[in-house]
Structure 1
Amino acid sequence: MQAATSKEYGEVLESGAVRFERLLPGPIERVWAYLTEGEKRATWFCGGETEPRSGGRIELFFKHSQITDEPPPESHRKMNDEGALMSGTVTLWEPPHRLAFNWQGMGDPDSDVEIELAQAGDKVRLVLTHRRLATKSRMANVSSGWHLHLGLLEDQLTGAKPRGFWSIHDALKAEYEDRQRDAPL
């Protein structure tokens, strides 16, 4: 596994909340498109339609064979090959600066995601906060997932070859479990 820099790791903000920050190549409208347009979002995270308004529906169609050519572990083969649809409600829509949504599905209690974009010179600062993560296991899983997906977003925006996903996932999740061992829940 390629060593991540400490600033790539999500930080625990409060009970059940983790925050990530990335500096990405702009312009801000391009980054916004990769967050909100299903076809672009499918290249680094998950596809699906987003109704462009507060109160709108957001679909999260996870099909990891679209983001990596690495073979999945058997436990994730169906999602990797066939896909899994989750959904939520857009709770904040302020293009191109703020997007928030309630995330439903995965057999876990609902959680909330907020993404903020701000111009930082010729770069775009992305701050992603995921709240209401009900268990330490869920927090470690979500943290490792966002860590990997945000790396893939950076690869898309820079034109780099997409980094590994499945080859890193389990080790990174274990690392987050260790890092977040004393986090409040």
Structure 2
Amino acid sequence: MKEFETTNKKVIQQLSTIEKRSGESPNTISKGTITVEEKYGTIRFERRLKHPKEIVWKAITEQKEIFRWLPDYKGTFDGYKDGTIDLLNVVSGSHVTGNILVFDLHRVFEHEWFIAPNQMFPKGEPESIIRWELKQNGDSDTLLIVTHNHLTKSTALTFAPGWHAYLDRLEAILNNQVPPNWAHRFAEVKGLYST
């Protein structure tokens, strides 16, 4: 996997083609947080989306919708109670599996994100869990809280800009905009997560 280097100053200067066309600057306001306690790291994002919970829920639980903003993954994502995931990242070669743990319609969606050992993750990530919480924010807006926990510290630092880029893609698709290129977006926001 190619590594990208950037700094906070360059994040503002290196706008993607889509952002240049729209006149918007990168989404640094939606920066996630990384916390490390003992041997585990946790990534947390909060995004305010201008869509009702039902629309956001569909985008994060239905396979057809998921692969629109998570395009590097192929496989099965059964986003329903007692469902499973079995995905392959076609760029990195990472194999991800897991079970759906919580399916509280339009409120909480939680699933395992187990990564098998591979070149990028020699020990894998056998305990990782992603939790998606949706809260009504006003009449039609949704507060989306994404928490990815039980990661090693190094994986948390690697995944944070990746999730930032994927969430930017999710938001663009919900807004009927062309989503940013994931690799370019990753490069733009990586400096936000360097510590």
Question: TM-score when scaled to structure 1?
Answer: 0.76
Q: Match of 2:112?
A: 102
Aligned-partner Cα distance in 1 for 2:108–2:180: 27
Q: Match of 1:155?
A: 172
CA RMSD of aligned residues (A): 2.2
Structure 1 alignment gaps of length 5 or more: 64-75
Aligned-partner Cα distance in 1 for 2:107–2:53: 8
SS at match of 1:146: helix
Measure how far apart 1:27 and its partner are. 1.9
Q: 2:98 aligns with which of 62, 81, 88?
A: 88
Q: 1:31 aligns with which of 56, 71, 77?
A: 56
Aligned-partner Cα distance in 1 for 2:79–2:184: 34
Q: Match of 2:5?
A: none
Measure how far apart 1:18 and its partner are. 1.4
Aligned-partner Cα distance in 2 for 1:128–1:154: 13
Tell me whether 1:125 sits opposite 2:118 in the alignment. no
Question: TM-score when scaled to structure 2?
Answer: 0.72
Q: Match of 1:72?
A: none
Tell me whether 1:11 sits opposite 2:33 in the alignment. yes
2:164·2:186 contact (CA, 8 Å) conserved in 1? Answer: no
- What letter is aligned with 2:161? S
Aligned-partner Cα distance in 2 for 1:4–1:170: 11
Q: Percent identity?
A: 25
1:140·1:173 contact (CA, 8 Å) conserved in 2? Answer: no
